[in-house]
Amino acid sequence: MAKVALNSKFEQRSGLRWLWLAVIIFMVDYLSKIIIMGTMTANGSTPIAVLPFMNLYYVHNTGAAFSFLSAEGGWQRWLFTLIAVVVCGFLSYQMRQASITKTAHNIGCALIIGGALGNLFDRINYGFVVDFLDFYYKNHHFAIFNIADVAICCGAMLYILSSVNKSRG
């Protein structure tokens, strides 16, 4: 009986305890961008081959994913800043409402929050997002992105999968 009570208390803990993961994602993203900005020239340096299908190539992205709205006059910076703040607030609220045992949901939220904060930091401090991961096949290059973007995509997949599994049960 004591074991059941202990499990029930553990399950009542908030999913916010997973926010340590968002902090780690933010720090890894930040440090990677500092290294890139300190060693490469934006939009002008020669790509650094890392793997047969991946280069490091430093670019400034004033838009969103796939440089969406990057050619606009600058207003998009504040739109994407607002979106990041709203999304982080919403996901934090969801984590607070969720049990700590909702692992996939909470990890998904934390990954999205960490990535969103990484890109938000760039937008506020530099006016653009630092991107540097260039994946390609032969002469076909995917959009250049960063570690925050990877975290956001992985987090979104986990979030969706956890939502689909919850609706099935």
6 within a domain of the structure (yes/no): no
11 within a domain of the structure (yes/no): no
* Residue 27 confidence (pLDDT): 98
CB atoms inside a 10 Å sphere around CB 14: 14
10 within a domain of the structure (yes/no): no
**Does the annotation mark 122 as catalytic?**
no
* Residue 169 confidence (pLDDT): 43
Residues 6+ apart with CB under 8 A from 43: 58, 59, 60
- Which structural domain, as residue segments, surrounds residue 74? 18-168
DSSP 108-160: HHHHHHHHHHHHHHHHHHHSSEEEEEEEEETTEEPPPB-HHHHHHHHHHHHHH
Q: State mean pLDDT over 135-151.
A: 92
Distance of CA 119 to the CA centre of its chain: 8
9 within a domain of the structure (yes/no): no
4 within a domain of the structure (yes/no): no
Q: State mean pLDDT over 137-143.
A: 89
What is this structure's pTM?
0.84
13 within a domain of the structure (yes/no): no
* Residue 125 confidence (pLDDT): 94
What's the pLDDT tens digit per position in 93-122? 999 998 888 989 999 999 999 999 999 999
* Residue 9 confidence (pLDDT): 54
Among candidate residues 29, 122, 131, 134, the one labeled active-site is 131
Domain count, the chain: 1
138 within a domain of the structure (yes/no): yes
93 within a domain of the structure (yes/no): yes
Residues 52 and 114: their CA atoms lie apart, in Å, by 29
Among candidate residues 29, 122, 134, 149, the one labeled active-site is 149
* Residue 5 confidence (pLDDT): 47
* Residue 6 confidence (pLDDT): 43
What's the pLDDT tens digit per position in 49-93? 999 999 999 999 876 655 555 555 566 678 888 999 999 999 999
Give the three-class secondary structure for 71. Answer: coil
Q: Is residue 155 pLDDT above 80, yes or no?
A: yes
For the chain, what is the mean pLDDT?
A: 85
